[in-house]
Structure 1
Amino acid sequence: MSNHSLNYSTLPGYFEHDEQPEGPQFRATTLPGFGLIHRRYDTDGDSGHEQTQWERFMHFLNHLNKEASDQARYKLIFVMRHGQGFHNVKEAQVGRAAWEAKWALLDGDDEMTWADAKLTEKGKSQALEIKATLERDIREMKVPLPGKCYISPLARCLETTRLAFSGLEWPRDQPFKPIIKEALRERLGRHTCDRRSTRSWIESNYPEFKIESGFTEQDELWQPNYRETLDEHVVRVRQLLDDIFNSEESSVISFTAHSGAIRALYALTEHKEVWVAPGAMVPLLLVATPQ
């Protein structure tokens, strides 16, 4: 498959999350075993020993990629929304209308700062709950760790990723080294919570993370007087997927991102608009095909 823009779609029928209600009243949470549906696969029975549902699913996924050759690429993406940030707290206090009209445009108030919002104590606990779920499900169900972790450069995503993934038993040939991608950011513009910190700040505070090439010192994408549209956000997510699907060999990856970024991902892949709760991780089976 040549390196150009691809068609992306989700394959439903494998995870409970795929059929959950659409938002915003409903918010998807992290499910035991990440909601993998108990079902049979055409590839069952190829192995000589009793396998968990997750082992059988991974055998099926690897078979899909092997059989597809250059006609398609399949990836399982663990999509993690950052834990609760101070911007979430302020919006809940004042309501969405007042947040959009006034408070989102400010750096903070007398009680808290939400410019490049950091995690609250509750947000940190939510990230640690993901880690506990991973530790249990990796051990008991053989849930795979992502071969690569891609993350938004905003502080709440950096912090969530470190708390959720650090200390897990990563393979020696695939150590924990998340890759920071500008394209995973929240909807750009106006809201100060979505204006990132400097490259120097990120390097100083998250030295174990890898920053993608071309990453500037100052945030050159965020504009104080223009808010990115959903259509523009979808274009940015498409560019992200093109980059990853054309260069990344791992069949299991993770995104640490934001509610708006996840909704743009769903819009691109024609997935139901299932809103994800703060500090939750949900699976998504994607297929990329030539245009």
Structure 2
Amino acid sequence: MSNHSLNYSTLPGYFEHDEQPEGPQFRATTLPGFGLIHRRYDTDGDSGHEQTQWERFMHFLNHLNKEASDRARYKLIFVIRHGQGFHNVKEAQVGREDWEAKWALLDGDDEMTWADAKLTETGKSQALEIKATLERDIREMKVPMPVKCYTSPLTRCLETTRLAFSGLEWPTDQPFRPMIKEALRERLGKHTCDRRSTRSWIESNYAEFEIESAFTEQDELWQSDYRETLDEHVMRVRQLLDDIFNNDKNTVISFTAHSGAIRALYALTGHKEVWVAPGAMVPLLVVATPQ
């Protein structure tokens, strides 16, 4: 496929997450084996040895990409919502209405700061639970590690990515080096928790991370008087997927992002609007086709 904007959709029928309830009353959590459904594939039997469900799924996925040639590209995206941040704690204390009207516009209060919110101790534990799940399921079920990790530059996502992936056995000879992408950020504007730190601060505190080339020193995207619309957010996620599907040949990748960013991703790809719990990791099988 040529390097232009693509159509994106998710393929249901492979993960329990695809059929989970929609809306804020339900929060998706990390499932054993990441909820891969036990089923048969057309490619079963191609291998001469007994395989796990995940090995059979990956064989099937690689077959899809091989057969599609230039007609489509398939990627398994492990989507991670950052662990609990201090902004989540404050919103729970005051309620969504007061949070939106007053507290989200402030940097903090007498007890905590939530501008570019950091993880709470609970949030750190949630990220470490992702790591423990990966260690177990990679060993027991042959779940594939993401070959490339992409993350929002907001501190709660950087912390989550580091805690969830550091120390795991990487699938390539390259060192652990997540890529920071502005387009994975939460809905832009007004809320101080969504205003990022400077590039130099990120480089100093997360030296093992790679930063995309266009990343500016100051946050030039966040505005104190304008909140990004859903349509604008979806367009930003489309540009992200265009970039990744055109330039990253890896089949298995991960996104560490935010609740709003995940919902924008679902809106773009036609996935059900399943809300994801803090510190949860869910799988998404995405296909890109020419427009």
Give deviations 1:178-221, integer Å, cap 9, x for gaps: 00000000000000000000001100000000000110000000
**Cα offset, 1:23, TM superposition:** 1.6
**Cα offset, 1:167, TM superposition:** 0.3
CA distance in 2 between partners of 1:146 and 1:163 (Å): 15
SS in 1 for 2:208: coil
CA contact (8 A) 1:34 1:283 kept: yes
CA contact (8 A) 1:76 1:285 kept: yes
CA contact (8 A) 2:80 2:282 kept: yes
SS in 2 for 1:9: strand
**Cα offset, 1:62, TM superposition:** 0.2
Give deviations 1:254-286, integer Å, cap 9, x for gaps: 000000000000000010000000000000000
CA distance in 1 between partners of 2:160 and 2:53 (Å): 28
Structure 2 residue ranges without an equivalent (≥5): none
Identity score, percent: 91
CA contact (8 A) 1:127 1:279 kept: yes
CA distance in 2 between partners of 1:171 and 1:253 (Å): 11
**Cα offset, 1:176, TM superposition:** 1.2
CA contact (8 A) 1:8 1:286 kept: yes
**Cα offset, 1:171, TM superposition:** 3.1
SS in 2 for 1:275: strand
CA contact (8 A) 1:154 1:196 kept: yes
Give deviations 1:225-280, integer Å, cap 9, x for gaps: 00000000000000000000000010000000000000000000010000000000
Hey, which bits of structure 1, 4+ residues long, moved more than 4 A? none
SS in 1 for 2:196: coil
SS in 1 for 2:27: coil
CA contact (8 A) 1:86 1:119 kept: yes
**Cα offset, 1:148, TM superposition:** 0.5
CA contact (8 A) 1:151 1:180 kept: yes
CA distance in 2 between partners of 1:84 and 1:174 (Å): 30
CA distance in 2 between partners of 1:276 and 1:107 (Å): 25
**Cα offset, 1:170, TM superposition:** 0.7
**Cα offset, 1:172, TM superposition:** 4.1
CA distance in 1 between partners of 2:262 and 2:54 (Å): 24
Structure 1 residue ranges without an equivalent (≥5): none
CA distance in 2 between partners of 1:88 and 1:82 (Å): 11
CA contact (8 A) 2:107 2:192 kept: yes
CA contact (8 A) 1:147 1:174 kept: no
Aligned-residue RMSD, C-alpha: 0.5
CA distance in 1 between partners of 2:224 and 2:81 (Å): 24
**Cα offset, 1:147, TM superposition:** 1.0
**Cα offset, 1:175, TM superposition:** 2.6
Task: Name the stretch that deviates more: 166-175 or 187-196.
Answer: 166-175
Task: Name the stretch that deviates more: 173-182 or 26-35.
Answer: 173-182
CA distance in 2 between partners of 1:113 and 1:269 (Å): 35
**Cα offset, 1:173, TM superposition:** 2.4
Give deviations 1:14-68, integer Å, cap 9, x for gaps: 0000000002000000000000000000000000000000000000000000000
CA distance in 1 between partners of 2:139 and 2:23 (Å): 32
* 2:135 aligned partner: 135
SS in 2 for 1:42: coil
CA contact (8 A) 2:147 2:171 kept: no
CA distance in 1 between partners of 2:183 and 2:280 (Å): 20
Aligned residue pairs total: 291
CA distance in 1 between partners of 2:138 and 2:171 (Å): 13
